[in-house]
Amino acid sequence: MGNLLRVENLSLIRDEKRILKRINLKIDKGEIHALLGINGVGKSSLAYCLMGLSGYKPSEGRIYFEGKDITNLPLSKRAKLGITLAWQEPTRFEGLTIREYLSLSRKDEDDSLDEILDKVALKSRLYLSREMNQDLSGGERKRIELASVYAMRPKLAILDEPDSGIDMLSLERIMDFILSLREKGASVLLITHREEVVEISDKASLMCEGEIVKSGDPRMVRDYFKTRCQRTCFEKDRIK
Amino acid sequence: MNDYEAILKAYELAGGDPSSLQFPQVGSLVVEEDKILSFNEVEGLVMEPERTQRGVKAKIVVKESCKIKNPVHLCFGVIPEEGTQEIIMEIILEDNSYVKLLAHCTFPNAVRVKHTMQAEIKIGKGAHLSYEEAHYHGPSGGIEVIPRAKVSISSGGRLTNSFSLIKGRVGVLDLDYDVQVEREGIAELIAKIYGRGEDRIKIVEKVSLNGENARSLIKSRIVVIDRAQSKVIGETYGNAPGARGHVDCMEIVEGKAKAQAIPKVSVAHSQAKVTHEAAIGRIDKRQLETLMARGLEESEAVDTVIKGILR
């Protein structure tokens, strides 16, 4: 099976600091790939590089999507190819209703907004007319962000900490949501530091100080994370 | 096309519904330049419009305890390319009355038009005035609009005011409202304006919270693009115990446009509180990137954010 995403020797320098160091990563079609690591090791920066956000142009290396070099492709063009990103802290939109927000990204008119919101355990009658503003809690915005990713029917969904700030019960729903994304044909790059999420992953990679230090079977990577890297990274963090 | 048909067409351009002017149960006043084309009173609503040398003087009274069921439609316009219209309004809401005024000001062909409004508004005890004003100025920008209002809100009274100018060009807008609020009174002033080309926007909204527990909100949402300029001055004075006021100004600037926000807040009583927030600048990058990550082009993302802000 061909790689959907292939990252080769990707490095990123921001403010004269080397954030990503020669990252190599492959994600196949239909794969759920967990990207583990403690806070501040460069997971979100890698996500922004892959999505093509401004200020995250790689200093070296290439990104291939479905075999095509997208390293210099702008953000909206990458989205049109089927790549999307759910931010760790979704933004607010004054005056834009949830109905409009979801409709903007909805690719298939057959996907009802009721069904889309149901995927993130929200009731459409309570939410569709509400605005994406400060009246929504962080958790609600997060779910709506995920719903908009679902509505887009992406080929590659990059989910940046979809599980942060939510309880265990919601975590199960989030994992169900990720599986349903895959059922709809998406591959998922799942950025997390919650080890439980590894259970639904096909592969995992572990990041430490801007590098991928381990990649492969999710349980093996998780165990490595728990027993060696987590401790090492924390210790390094403490010494700093 | 006669004057009435022309103004109805223009009324529609400003967002009005011409059919609503036909119903006998709907109060209305239609003015083109200095001509009173029609007016209709309903029970509890008294209108006294009269022609002046350069416009119209109108007194509108809502009788005590009368709640006017249907919104009252006001249409002011100038159809020719050039002209002057001076509107002098006196609006009185007697105690415990209610009315919603939908004012549409339309100048679709303006090349050199001046429209001024001098309003004196008295809201009685426990009365509520909802005043929604929408403008349409046509594409040339050759218009000067100068609205002035002095408003007094008696105890327990309420003003809900919205001013919207988002279709066509602004031209020159120089708006100045002064609102005095007595005990338990509420004033909400919302302005939404989209300036383009060489448009010049100046808004001064001043609220004095003079009575105990009086409350107010001044909210401005301004977008300026091209070489347009805006200046927004939101003033709130907390002069009584329990008074609460908030000034919330957001100005989005694109291209070579310039924006200025000057919130002035002052408290003259230890138990009053007035807050303000102002944000000026380009559209938030994260908002644009979120929409672009869903497949929108940058220009579409900008339009979407602006549309939301001005809604």
CATH classification at residue A235: 3.40.50.300
Final residue before a domain boundary, out of A108, A125, A153? A153
Do A197 and A140 share a structural domain?
no
Q: Which of B150, B92, B153, B162 is nearest to B126 (CA)?
A: B153
Nearest C-alpha neighbor of A149 from the set A65, A53, A198, A83? A83
- Of chain A, the percentage scoring pLDDT greater than 90 comes to 70
pLDDT given at position B21 = 84
CA dihedral over A107, A109, A113, A117, signed as positive or negative: negative
Which chain A residues have a beta carbon less than 8 Å from that of B250?
94
Which residues are within 8 A (CB) of A109 and not within 5 positions of it... i.e. 6 or more apart?
none
- Tokens linked to A166: 């939510």
Same domain for A64 and A182: yes
Instruction: Write down the pLDDT at residue B14.
Output: 79
With a threshold of 0.85, tell me whether the complex ipTM lies above it: yes
Per residue in B102-157, pLDDT (tens digit) is 999 999 899 999 999 999 999 999 999 999 999 998 888 899 999 999 999 999 99
Residue A234: the pLDDT is: 55
Are B245 and B238 in contact by the 8 Å Cβ rule? The answer is: yes
Residue from A91, A102, A103, A150 to probe the interface with B (highest B Cβ count within 10 Å): A91
Question: If phi over 0 gives left and psi between -120 and 50 gives alpha, with beta otherwise, what is residue A216?
Answer: left
Q: Return the pLDDT at A34.
A: 96
Number of domains in chain A: 2
Q: Are B295 and A75 an interchain contact pair (Cβ–Cβ within 8 Å)?
A: no
- The DSSP string of B268-309 is -STT-EEEEEEEEESPPHHHHHHHHTTT--HHHHHHHHHHHH
Q: How far apart are CA B47 and CA B61, in angstroms?
A: 6
Residue B232 burial class via C-beta count within 10 angstroms: exposed 0-12, middle 13-18, buried 19 and up: buried
Give the model's confidence band at A108: pLDDT under 50 very low, under 70 low, under 90 confident, else very high.
confident
Residue-level pLDDT at B221: 96
The helix-helix angle for B298-310 and B285-292 (nearest 10°) equals: 120
Residue B291's CB is within 10 A of a number of other CB atoms, namely 28
Record: contact B294-A75, CB cut-off 8 A? no
Q: DSSP 3-state helix, strand, coil percentages of chain A (rounded to 5)?
A: 40, 30, 30
* The pLDDT value given to residue A163: 81
Rounded to an integer, what distance in angstroms lies between the CA atom of residue B127 and that of residue B157?
5
Cα separation, B103 vs B121, in Å, equals: 14
Tell me the pLDDT of chain A averaged across its residues: 90
Q: Could you tell me how many residues make up chain B? A: 311
- The larger pLDDT score, comparing residue A201 to residue A233, is at A201
Residue A111: the pLDDT is 83
Chain A neighbors of B298, CB-CB under 8 A: 76
Question: How many contiguous H segments (helices) and E segments (strands) does chain B have?
Answer: 3, 19
Q: Does A108 touch chain B (CB under 8 A)?
A: no
Asked if residue A189 and residue A135 are part of one domain, the reply reads: no
Q: Is the pLDDT of residue A127 over 70?
A: yes
Higher-scoring residue by pLDDT: B33, A138:
B33
- Give CA angle at B283 (B282, B288), nearest 5°: 140
List of chain A residues whose C-beta atoms are within 8 Å of the C-beta of residue B294: 79, 84, 104-105, 148, 152
A234 and A179 fall within a common domain: yes
Q: How far apart are CA B159 and CA B128, in angstroms?
A: 6
Confidence grade of residue A240 (pLDDT, cut at 50, 70, 90): very low
Are A78 and A168 found together in one domain? Answer: yes
Indicate which of B223, B248, B294 best probes the interface with A, i.e. most A CBs within 10 Å of its own CB: B294
Instruction: Tell me the residues of chain A between 9 and 68 that have a Cβ less than 8 Å away from chain B.
Output: 51, 53-54
Among the three residues A102, A122, A153, which one is the final residue of a domain in this structure?
A153
Residues A128 and A179 in one domain: no
Report the sign of the C-alpha dihedral through residues B79, B81, B86, B90, in that order. positive
What confidence score (pLDDT) does residue A239 get? 44
DSSP 8-state symbol, A170? H
Residue B250: closest CA among chain A residues belongs to which residue?
A94
Question: Does A148 share its domain with A185?
Answer: no
Find the range with the poorest average confidence among A4-18, A162-176, B15-29: A162-176
Q: Are residues A22 and A135 in the same domain?
A: no
In a domain, A87, yes or no: no
Question: Of the residues A120, A137, A153, which one is the last residue of a structural domain?
Answer: A153
Q: Which residues of B touch A148 (CB under 8 A)?
A: 294
What pLDDT does A152 receive? 95
User: From A105, which residue of chain B is nearest by alpha-carbon distance?
Assistant: B294
Maximum distance among all Cα pairs of chain A, rounded to whole angstroms: 55
> CA A161 to CA A13: how far, in whole Å?
23
The verdict on A159 and A148 lying in the same domain is: no
Predicted confidence (pLDDT) per residue in B179-190, tens digit: 999 999 999 999
State whether residue A109 is helix, strand or coil.
coil
Q: Are A10 and A58 in contact (CB under 8 A)?
A: yes
List the 216-275 stretch of B: residues with Cβ below 8 A of A: 221, 250
Tokens of A92: 């607010």
Find the mean pLDDT for residues A128-152: 91
- Give chain A positions within 8 Å (CB) of B287: 91, 93
Q: Is residue A88 part of a domain?
A: no
The continuous run of DSSP H or E covering A179 comes out as helix A168-183
- pLDDT at position A116, please? 93
Q: Which residues of chain B have pLDDT under 50?
A: none
A127 and A160 part of one domain: no
Partner-chain contact A76 B295, CB within 8 Å: yes
Task: Find where tokens 């006021």 sit.
Answer: B245
Q: Which two tokens stand for residue B261?
A: 């926000």
* A139, A115: one domain: yes
Query: Distance from A72 to chain B by nearest Cα, in Å?
Result: 15
Q: What is the pLDDT of residues A67-105, one digit of tens each?
A: 999 999 999 999 999 999 999 999 999 999 999 999 999
C-alpha gyration radius of chain B: 20
Same domain, A161 and A148: no
Query: Whole domain around residue A78: which residue ranges?
Result: 3-82+155-239
CB contact under 8 A, B311 and A91: no
pLDDT at A39: 87
Q: Which residues of B touch A152 (CB under 8 A)?
A: 294-295
pLDDT, residue B66, reads 98
- Would the CA dihedral through B285, B291, B292, B297 be positive or negative? negative
Smallest Cα–Cα separation from B153: which of B184, B181, B183? Answer: B181
